[in-house]
Structure 1
Amino acid sequence: MRFYDPTGKRFGLPTYPFRLAPQGLATRRQLRARGLRPGGQPVAAQLMWRSRKARGEIRCAYLYRVDLARPVRPMTPRKAAALAAANLARRTCPACRRDAGYVIPRSLGCCVTCDDSAALAA
């Protein structure tokens, strides 16, 4: 197997092909789905695979030990307020100053209504 290197001689870290990682190891997303975080532990191993979407580019995902993972810190009221304010800023149109109800696309720079109005005026 191309990416199978459990000793880490070839890649520096124990390396496994996609979907063949041993039990007890998980990616950050898998830890988060279980309500855990790496908690400062070093990377234990990695997954490597050749991506079909990215024109054969080799992709990598780091694996962490589940037994050393810690619980996710709870959301505090101040963190929740800061997150709500940041999301409101992303939804507010700079042209008409209204809450668009969705995140303003960076490609447009304003809400769809303002962009359509500008396109019709031109």
Structure 2
Amino acid sequence: MSRPRFWDPEGRRFGGIPTYPWRMAPAGLLTRRQLRARGLRPGGQDVAAQVMWRSRFGGTRPAYLYRLALAKPVGPMTPARAAALAKANQARRTCPACGRDAGYVLPAHLGTCLLCADSTALAA
């Protein structure tokens, strides 16, 4: 029986980082998203390992893993942090062309709201 393609627990083949196939990482190693779901953050620790898989669009994709034992709790949401987050989200919804709140995050590839993008396309 052969080993999976991305099996490299010693870190010899993939950039010096221990690498595991999708869903085969050892217990105690979690991604940022998995840590966040538990109310934790990496807390300044280095990447401990990675999970790699083949992308459906070709190539490979990594997900970095951190040690659960070294993770720290996420700081509480303070009023100042909530205000800064609201201000940042407001900026992502405000169209630079017409200046109105679009009610959704503006598409990065357009850079404007859909109405302004449509009017620009019709004028061209």
Smaller-chain TM-score range?
Answer: 0.7 to 0.9
Alpha-carbon spacing, 1:49–1:118, altered in 2? closer, same or farther (3 Å): closer
Instruction: Give the aligned partner of residue 88 of structure 1.
Output: 90
Instruction: Give the aligned partner of residue 54 of structure 1.
Output: 57
Q: Name the CA distance, whole Å, in 2 between partners of 1:5 and 1:121.
A: 56
Name segments (4+ residues, structure 1) moved above 6 Å: none
**Count, aligned residues:** 120
Q: Which runs of 5+ in 2 are unaligned?
A: none
**2:7 pairs with 1:4:** yes
Across the aligned residues of Structure 1 and Structure 2, the Cα RMSD in angstroms comes to 2.0
Alpha-carbon spacing, 1:108–1:61, altered in 2? closer, same or farther (3 Å): closer
**2:35 pairs with 1:34:** no
Alpha-carbon spacing, 1:3–1:120, altered in 2? closer, same or farther (3 Å): closer
More displaced, 61-70 or 94-103? Answer: 94-103
Instruction: Give the aligned partner of residue 103 of structure 2.
Output: 101
Q: Which runs of 5+ in 1 are unaligned?
A: none
Q: TM-score, normalised by structure 2?
A: 0.81
1:90 Cα deviation after fit? 1.7
